[in-house]
Structure 1
């Protein structure tokens, strides 16, 4: 053991293996939490329709995803109810257990007579999925050094794309083969495995905040404290606009292909499987690129690629191109969206304060989700009024504004990230010594 301590190469190798194992664990946890949420929102409407639910009933059922907007509110009790040892781990285990129980309970419902109860359970499951995401991400931020943040953002983004394949596709096949209850049983198993991983994982001890930050004063510290960070205002403004535009195009990509001659099963394979797989690979691959070229260049580069992808799809819609061209356009959009979301998740992890990882991440996640929900209806209005070409052209023009904003704010954000890395490295060393 002393030989290892004296050999820098072995120390670096051991750290690399440890960080890789932790990245894999958190990636698995993210996937376990995300896949059921996607099934409830994207996969289940098809099942409900098969069981005779009306369009209005299915539309109201989408409100089960509403808790994602209120992540900051859910983060507050995570920060206030603290334990010196295993703080975030205890929260994650408790909420994941409730999530698993609710998923199994949903599988026991009768769709013909228990519609109201099913919605309440789905709403509860959405709440638990949103809540569990907070301590899991906070734990990742706490135990991973700042040099691993972009990689963690890529893993988090890849989990979303893989969750779309599982929750939006494979679980529908499981339902068709084994019935209503089977998908919920299958999706609960990874959550239970994740709980087991959390139980054996050792979270470093945390110094509890001073008593003056408790109670009423804590609310000010949680909310205003985030925005007092250097670069937080610049990053938050960019966060609200950087991803939602390309995300809106992705949401409307399926109807775009369907209305341009693709069969429903072709759309499922091109967007749901191929596109999601490409997005996952792009998320992982670009994480290393971001570290290599730096945050300032990555912000501008990915904004530019988003303009190319959106503008390319707009040209295809204007010209009425063939199916092969649309497949290429869909893959290009998946690549840029994977890169953009990896960068966004990485920076969200970077703009968190020691001892307030859950609150700061929850604040950004709420803003991230809210901006997406606001852009989607506007994009739908543009689609109805101007068609696909008009909608995509409008998104492209808006992305030009985001590109200009990224050019203006990039150095400020980059400096703030580097300053955070220095302070986080010191906090990480202290946290590691406590553990």
Structure 2
């Protein structure tokens, strides 16, 4: 199979990730806006966000996929099973019209949807890890980052227009059709892209043997591999600082005097730019070592955060603020692209679901904790203090990335 043929599999996995991410963003950013429109309290809106917590325990959802295997096409069958549940949840949401549904009912449906979405994400990406050769796996991670940024534009913007013009149910209908198409594409891909054969003792473990491995042994085996300590430190620390800056961009722009309409346009443009940055990285991924990219992009993060810190310190509200926001978008796209790519690389093919879920949980938990900490710093010191704290954390990441790059290059020279 020639390298160019993997283009279609990249598109299929990208479509599936786009569908899951866009629906999640709409549920947790779009629906609260409607809740406010119909007079729901701030407490109810805040509690509604708690329904998204299953993403933190994704490692608990992922391991059964490798522990309890179907005899054939394990990840495809799990995707089909959970995909059916996802479509059922979307149908339930379409029927739970916000004008007549109680908070308890909507909350329970949202929890079920979040649980299924987080769970379904695992076999879909494990399917990709199994079928891509190692040199293609970082690319699918970068493309996943790009579609995530685009999903923020669709889920947080386009679908709100669909709701405004067509009503409550239609966004969920559209997501349901997208999910159904994704399932058909995955089924078609199974025949065209067989499981990629890999060399090496660790990777050659028979798939059937994993049914006898306990959850604890799966997790322990993930951490016991060489170089995993540094990778997990990078995984936990690399993205949350630029991610927290991205989270607080809209409040920053609002407090600096920009109108809601202007913020909406800037946010949409920033999401597209972040997607283009990730996609651009995926095009050159074969020419740049991921460890070199980690270090370079960590420097980009520091520069972008420094620009935002300077902008809020001087209180710019013109093109310089927009430029700083776009700089954060570029840094976000590049950082998430290289990080998602390495998540694919450091997932063992015979335990793709377990490793991918464990790494996703570490990534999500650190992002949540840093965002909360940034909010506490914001309340006590203001935006300048918050961005200074994010810059400090990013500088630590720069040092760690440089150290890992040097270690990898020395190892390559010795080989």
Q: Could you state the TM-score of these two structures normalised by the residue count of structure 2?
A: 0.93
Deviation at 1:410, TM superposition (A): 2.5
Change (3 A) 1:210 1:113: closer
Please tell me whether the aligned partners of residues 9 and 189 of structure 2 are also in contact (alpha carbons under 8 angstroms).
no
Match of 1:25 in 2: 12
Deviation at 1:118, TM superposition (A): 1.0
Match of 1:256 in 2: 252
Number of residue-to-residue matches in the alignment? 404
Give the alignment of 1:242-391 within 5 angstroms: 242-271=238-267, 273-391=268-386
Superposed CA RMSD = 2.1
Please tell me whether the aligned partners of residues 93 and 198 of structure 1 are also in contact (alpha carbons under 8 angstroms).
no
Rounded Cα–Cα distance in structure 1 between residues aligned with 2:162 and 2:346: 40
Match of 1:428 in 2: none
Deviation at 1:200, TM superposition (A): 2.4
Match of 2:25 in 1: 38
Rounded Cα–Cα distance in structure 2 between residues aligned with 1:142 and 1:182: 35
Residue from 210, 228, 235 that aligns with 1:232: 228
Match of 1:126 in 2: 114
Deviation at 1:301, TM superposition (A): 0.3
Rounded Cα–Cα distance in structure 1 between residues aligned with 2:373 and 2:409: 31
Deviation at 1:205, TM superposition (A): 6.1
Rounded Cα–Cα distance in structure 2 between residues aligned with 1:53 and 1:414: 56
Q: Deviations over 1:275-303 (max 9, x none)?
A: 00000000011123343121221111000
Q: Deviations over 1:397-430 (max 9, x none)?
A: 1111111111122344678999xxxxxxxxxxxx
Q: Secondary structure at the match of 1:52?
A: coil
Please tell me whether the aligned partners of residues 351 and 417 of structure 1 are also in contact (alpha carbons under 8 angstroms).
no
Change (3 A) 1:122 1:413: farther
Match of 2:68 in 1: 81
Structure 1 unaligned residues grouped into runs of 5+: 1-13, 419-435
Match of 1:59 in 2: 46
Please tell me whether the aligned partners of residues 161 and 276 of structure 1 are also in contact (alpha carbons under 8 angstroms).
yes
Deviation at 1:115, TM superposition (A): 1.7
Q: Could you state the TM-score of these two structures normalised by the residue count of structure 1?
A: 0.89
Please tell me whether the aligned partners of residues 295 and 414 of structure 1 are also in contact (alpha carbons under 8 angstroms).
no
Deviation at 1:80, TM superposition (A): 1.1
Residue from 155, 158, 168 that aligns with 1:180: 168
Deviation at 1:88, TM superposition (A): 0.4
Rounded Cα–Cα distance in structure 1 between residues aligned with 2:195 and 2:71: 6
Give the alignment of 1:166-177 within 5 angstroms: 166-177=154-165
Rounded Cα–Cα distance in structure 2 between residues aligned with 1:138 and 1:73: 15
Q: State whether structure 2 residue 182 is matched by structure 1 residue 201.
A: no
Match of 1:222 in 2: 218
Deviation at 1:363, TM superposition (A): 0.5
Q: State whether structure 2 residue 36 is matched by structure 1 residue 49.
A: yes
Rounded Cα–Cα distance in structure 1 between residues aligned with 2:27 and 2:161: 14
Q: Secondary structure at the match of 2:286?
A: helix
Q: Secondary structure at the match of 2:130?
A: helix
Please tell me whether the aligned partners of residues 295 and 401 of structure 2 are also in contact (alpha carbons under 8 angstroms).
yes
Match of 1:425 in 2: none
Rounded Cα–Cα distance in structure 2 between residues aligned with 1:326 and 1:254: 12
Rounded Cα–Cα distance in structure 2 between residues aligned with 1:363 and 1:416: 27
